[in-house]
Structure 1
Amino acid sequence: MSPSFSAHLEPTGDGPVAGILTVSEMTSLVKETLEEALPMCWVTGEMVDFSRAASGHCYLTLKDRNSQLPCVLFRFYAREMTFTPEPGMMVVAYGNISVYERGGRYQFLLYRLQPAGVGELALAFERLRSRLEEEGLFEAERKRALPAFPRAIGIVTSETGAAVRDIVEVVTRRAPGIQLVLRSARVQGQGAAGEISRAIDDLNRLGGLDILIVGRGGGSAEDLWAFNEEVVARAIYASEVPVVSAVGHEIDYTIADYVADVRAPTPSAAAEIVAPDRAVLAQGVQDRRRHLQVAMDNRLRHLGDQLGQVGIRRMAEALRDRLDQSSQDIDEGRRSLAAGLDGQLRTRAAALRTEALRLQGLSPLTGLARGFAFCEHEADGRPVHSGGDLRRGQRLRLRFGRGGALCRVEDVIRE
């Protein structure tokens, strides 16, 4: 027996045992000992029962040939399950051992629950997710609110995919004055994660952008895997511009979704989130105008009723004259306000047009539209700055305003 336990159980003379533990003290001591001795771990077994309480907590038991293990999955973590648990299903669970003190029984507290045999990708996803969560990359406190009226939005996706077409269509319909800047990147396959992270960095260096949309359309887990890479997660975390993730469909969750300031279920939904609907805003202005007009009419009617009750004609006429004067002052104020607002709107519109032209000039696509081409190494996507970067036989990729070409270096001209 360990000294810490025996110290409580030593008798003193003929009297009772000194330092006797209560049931609660013993249970707490067992709980602390188990939790300190056994670290977080993965456990696999057959699920023999599963129930979900009204509170949202889930209770289940895992078993193998020789033992059973009672488990609890609390509501917050149960919401993140992507499958329907059923008795008899082989599962893999991640958590730590603890003790339910009121019942005096040990149990496994679950943080993750998934079907067994989900493969290396899912396990890699869970390992990276757990590590980044411990580092604080997913904390809600660091997530930033999106600007209500953005002037320029950067997009990181493939220039040939459906996602960019959906985003452009929605933004153009809802808020045609917003400037869109595309930084194309591969969104699947070898090297895609590096291109996505570099594209995020490039748009941050470009400046003048209010929001970034990073994403792609739907696909298999392997197709979406670039958005589960650590390099993409850290690029989103380091972005000085708020990031909206828009990867796949509503049921698809990636590491990028957890790190981003806002998660959108689809690229189209991301465009709706960042672009305020011009028609809705106009209707809101009309509703407020009607509300003010009704309030003014009611107030004037109330004052008129009060004057009628007084019955003093001269006072009523004097007050009516004051009301007329006030009404005229209001008309003058309206005209002045309208003139001032009109001037401000024209100034703001001119500034927006100037800023839009500046952003358009900074966009790499502008140069391509004027007949220039962008040359990069096919192997790793590095840009070609001079003939000294080339050697005979190398394969290059040329990008034009529309489309591109692959070519091979026949000879190098050095200047």
Structure 2
Amino acid sequence: MPNHTVLSVSQLNRYIKSLFEQNLQLKDVFIRGEISNFKGQYASGHFYFTLKDKDASVKVVMFRNYASHVRFTPENGMTVLVRGEVGVYDRDGVYQIYCREMQPDGIGDLSLAFEQLKKKLSEEGLFDSAHKKPIPPFPQVIGIITAKTGAALQDMLNILRRRYPSVVVLVRSVLVQGEKSAADLCAAVRQMDELGLCDLLIIGRGGGSLEDLWSFNDEALACEIFRCRTPIISAVGHEVDFTICDFVADLRAPTPSAAAELAVPDKKDLQFQLFSYERQMAQKIESRIQVLETQFGRHKRIHDSLSMRLSALQTKLEGYQNHQALRSPYYTVEQAQARIEEQAARLNALMPVRLEREEARLGKAAGILDSLSPFKVMARGFSVVTMKGKTISSAGQIKAGDRVTIRLTDGTVPAQILQGGKESE
């Protein structure tokens, strides 16, 4: 092979690399593919992965200065669009894509980053309702974190003055978009909370594109709001706009103007409530007065009745005080003794007459009783026959062999019946 030029491996790789570099079409290519073998955990900050479809694959490298601008987290299996330059890594002799830009296929990189951060913070519990602080019903001092030149601030101030003129408003002017805005918002939330002067904070801005509102999707800002001890209302963009700030705040308002309305009560409503309370109080007082008047009337009638009874008792007591017995008890005792002696004399006079009368009545009754006594009859020769305690008054009541008792005037004689008797016809 003396007539052929012999190249080293390095020379060959450098030659092929130069061919790639001279091809202008390979300087700026767009490629769609699925990520695999993703390695983005190096301290250098570079991304290394493979981009593939169903038939082929190609290696991709994305250096840190480009990778730092990727807003979402690349994952294996994700279909992406990459933009970059096709070149040769001459050490290994392989070609690869040097990626400058990358975005999800079919969805914007910001939208994907939003969904990824939303899922991450939700899993960490930053959106849980248990951590939400109640909004004070009557805040005395409200802090507003927004751009001082924005129309949103003027709208909120006008509404707060109209609805609740007594509230004090402290404004912390911040950047609401741009590279430094997220850090400025974090510092504002931390400063306003540490001051401890505000009962409530409102953080927000007017409407804009997703890019304009992106500072309110910052993870550090979400953590700062979560740690804030002062209740916070999020008021970012329009009603259709949602940010991470909305989910982690204690209350989400669809617009800055709505936040001002949610932050304070309307003085007209308060005046109406006070009027209603005043009317209810007057009705209750009137009703209470009527009840007390009724009770007073009842108590007065009782008092009058007791007064009459007391007056009667006093009159009676005066009568007792004037009674002879109370004025001279010895006189009363003498009168009672005289009545007792009079009654005793009458009793002594009537007693013999009464005894004589009763003795006569007793003698007459004894004579009648004696004439009816069975013993008088038996004294004339009659007797009484009994059997087993029962008086025998008929011959048919006994038969031969019966044992009977015969009662005579001076005693009883047992006897036995020898022959049954017959009743006389």
TM-score with structure 1 setting the length: 0.45
TM-score with structure 2 setting the length: 0.44
